[in-house]
Amino acid sequence: MKQTRRLISSIQKEREMANIQGSSSPMIGGDGSHSYAKNSTFQKAVLDAAQGWMNEAINDKLDFTVLDFDSSNPTFRIADLGCSTGPNTFFAVKNIIEAVEKKYQTHFQKPPLIEFQVFFNDFNGNDFNILFKTLPSYQNYFAAGIPGSFYTRLFPKSTIHFAHSSYSLHWLSKIPPEIVDSNSPAWNKGSIQCTGYSKEVANAYLGQYKKDVNMFLNARAEEIVGGGLIVILIGGRPDGIFMSQTSTGVVFDLLGASLAEMANLGEISDEKMNSFNLPVYYATPKEIKEIIEENGHFSIEKMEQVTHPMVMAMKMKNMSILEIVVSSLRAIFEKIFTEHFGNEEIVNKLFQRFAIKLQEIYPGFHKIINHCIEHFIFLERKI
Amino acid sequence: MKQTRRLISSIQKEREMANIQGSSSPMIGGDGSHSYAKNSTFQKAVLDAAQGWMNEAINDKLDFTVLDFDSSNPTFRIADLGCSTGPNTFFAVKNIIEAVEKKYQTHFQKPPLIEFQVFFNDFNGNDFNILFKTLPSYQNYFAAGIPGSFYTRLFPKSTIHFAHSSYSLHWLSKIPPEIVDSNSPAWNKGSIQCTGYSKEVANAYLGQYKKDVNMFLNARAEEIVGGGLIVILIGGRPDGIFMSQTSTGVVFDLLGASLAEMANLGEISDEKMNSFNLPVYYATPKEIKEIIEENGHFSIEKMEQVTHPMVMAMKMKNMSILEIVVSSLRAIFEKIFTEHFGNEEIVNKLFQRFAIKLQEIYPGFHKIINHCIEHFIFLERKI
pLDDT tens digits, one per residue of B182-238: 999 999 998 999 999 999 999 999 999 999 999 999 999 999 999 999 999 998 999
CA distances B169 to A67, A217, B16, B215, Å, are 39, 42, 13, 11
- Give the strand pairing for B373-381 and B160-166: unpaired
CA-to-CA dists, residue B192 to B196, B353, B370, B375, angstroms: 12, 16, 20, 23
- The kind and range of the H/E element at B96 are helix B88-107
Confidence at A42, pLDDT banded by 50, 70, 90: very low
Mean pLDDT, range B251-257, rounded to an integer: 94
- Cα distance between residue A82 and residue A86, in whole Å: 10
Would strands A298-307 and A373-381 be described as parallel, antiparallel, or unpaired? Answer: antiparallel
User: Minimal CA–CA distance to B298: which of B172, B190, B177, B383?
Assistant: B383
Burial class (CB in 10 A: 0-12, 13-18, 19+), B366: middle
Cβ–Cβ < 8 Å for B354, B40: no
B75 touching A, CB under 8 A? Answer: yes
In a 10 Å sphere around its CB, with 0-12 CB exposed, 13-18 middle and 19+ buried, how is residue A263 labelled? middle
DSSP single-letter state for residue B80:
E
Surface of B (189-208) touching A: CB under 8 A: none
Per-residue pLDDT, B109: 80
State how far Cα A12 lies from the chain centre: 10
DSSP for A286-328, written as a single string = HHHHHHHHHH-SEEEEEEEEEE-HHHHHHHS--HHHHHHHHHH
In the predicted structure, residue A343 carries a pLDDT above the cut 50 = yes
With cut-offs at 50, 70 and 90, classify the pLDDT of residue A67.
Answer: confident
Mutation site for A-interface testing, chosen from B84, B123, B128 by largest number of A Cβ within 10 Å: B128
Of A101-110, A253-262, B283-292, which gets the smallest average pLDDT? A101-110
Q: List the single residue in A with minimal CA-CA distance to B26.
A: A129
Could you tell me the pLDDT band of residue A308, with boundaries at 50, 70 and 90? low
Residues shown for chain B? 383
pLDDT for position A157: 95
Q: What is the pTM of this model?
A: 0.88
Percentage of chain B exceeding pLDDT 70: 83
Statement: residue A39 has pLDDT above 60: no
pLDDT at position B11 is: 53
Q: Which residue of A24, A142, A147 is in closest CB contact with B143?
A: A147
Q: Quick check: B148 contacting A, CB < 8 Å?
A: yes
Backbone angles phi, psi at A111, to 5 degrees: -75, 155
Smallest CA-to-CA distance from A92 within A218, A216, A232 is with A232
* Strand bridging mode B373-381 / B224-236: antiparallel
The candidate with the shortest Cα–Cα distance to A134, out of A93, A76, A79, is A93
Q: Would you say residue B32 has pLDDT above 50?
A: no
Q: Is the pLDDT of residue A79 over 90?
A: yes
Tell me what pLDDT residue B17 has: 56
pLDDT-based confidence at A318, cuts 50/70/90?
low
Confidence at residue B68, expressed as pLDDT on a 0 to 100 scale = 73
CA distances from B381 to A15, A305, B157 (A): 46, 51, 13
pLDDT of residue B18: 54
**Are A129 and B156 in contact (CB < 8 Å)?**
no
Residue A15 is predicted with a pLDDT of 53
Residue B153 in this model has a pLDDT that exceeds 70: yes
From A232-241, A353-362, B68-77, the region with the lowest mean pLDDT = B68-77
Query: Has residue A75 got a pLDDT over 60?
Result: yes
Mutate to test the interface with B, among A80, A118, A129, A155 (most CBs of B within 10 A): A129
Residues whose CB falls within 8 Å of the CB of residue A47, separated by 6 or more in sequence, listed in order: A3, A6, A233, A309
Per DSSP, the three-state class of A174 is coil
Mean pLDDT of chain B: 84
Look at residues B276, B274, B296, B292 and name the one whose alpha carbon lies nearest to residue B284. B292
Q: What is the pLDDT of residue A175?
A: 95
Return the H-helix or E-strand segment holding B129.
helix B128-133
CA distance B21 to B159: 28
Residue A102 has pLDDT above 50, yes or no: yes
pLDDT tens across B336-357, in order? 999 999 989 999 999 999 999 9
The rounded distance, in Å, linking the Cα atoms of B15 and B27 is 7
